[in-house]
Amino acid sequence: MSCSFDLTHYAEILEAGKAGGYRFATFGSGPERGEIYLRHDIDLSLDAALQMAELEAEHDVVTTYLLMTESVFYNLDSNEGVAAMARLRELGHTVGLHAVYPNVSLDDRFDPVVSWHNPDAEYMSRSIPGAINVYAEPFFDPPTYRSDSNQHWRSGCPHEELRGGGFPWLQILVHPEIWVYQGATMGLTMRSMLNAEKARRLEQLAADGIDLS
Ligand SMILES: [Zn+2]
Ligand SMILES: [Zn+2]
């Protein structure tokens, strides 16, 4: 098994968790022994989020999607934003807020779960009134945390330890864009994403009545 950043290996990681006896849980009570808190901070692409969400549903896995209200890359108030949130919920996932400090605009579209976008250490783990901060205790503890940031598992891909039941419990941060779009490095993956985005934007322009001839 190669630890590539693609949906095939992503599905293998999900199955490794199940084989190791873990349950996929959402932030609430807990963490309890044997639970995996799989979270997705959606920085760039609702399309990638939806592709990952569908795959998880096929594997009977529920996770937590944290969406931005202040993204320059997508708009939750657009038709596609509203449809994406509805589909994530339909698939059984939790939908929380990926917030830009210090704004916590938790309206009724969101479950009360928050992750900070690119946080500073200074405020990262402070408690947030009325919401669960995924970077605060009890859900955040470096030995039981793995992140794929910039297409690199700082402490290694967790699939082997998951299969062996090596973690008491685990929070995993996975960015869907890195797995849905392909490239040997983060830079190349981002360029793949932009190529796909270009095709999508051309369709949107045509749908908007723009003459592209
Ligand atoms: Zn792996
Ligand atoms: Zn972010």
**pLDDT digit string, tens, across residues 174-185:** 999 999 999 999
Taking residues 4-30, report their average pLDDT. Answer: 97
Look at residues 135, 170, 139 and name the one whose alpha carbon lies nearest to residue 156: 170
Bridge partner residues of 116 (DSSP): 99
| Cα separation, 54 vs 45, whole angstroms | 15
Give me the pLDDT at residue 211, please: 98
If DSSP codes are grouped into helix, strand and coil, which group holds residue 18?
A: helix
CA of 4 to the centre of ligand 2 (A): 22
Report how far ligand 1's centroid is from the alpha carbon of 160 (Å). 7
Regarding pTM above 0.95, the answer is yes
Name 172's bridge partners: 38, 146
Q: How far is the CA of 175 from the centre of ligand 2 (A)?
A: 9
Residue 166 structure tokens: 């090596």
* Mean pLDDT, all residues of the chain: 97
Give the model confidence (pLDDT) of 21-53 as tens digits.
Answer: 999 999 999 999 999 999 999 999 999 999 999
Helices (H), ranges, the chain: 7-19, 46-58, 79-90, 121-124, 159-163, 176-180, 186-207
Residue type at position 6: D
Q: Please give the average per-residue pLDDT across 71-88, as a whole number.
A: 97
pLDDT, residue 2, reads 81
| Proportion of the chain above pLDDT 70, given as a percent | 100
pLDDT at 1 over 80: no
H or E segment and range at residue 188: helix 186-207
Q: Give the ligand with the smallest distance to the CA of 71.
A: 2
pLDDT digits (tens, 9 = 90+) for 113-150: 999 999 999 999 999 999 999 999 999 999 999 999 99
Half-sphere exposure of 66 (CA within 13 A, CB side): 29
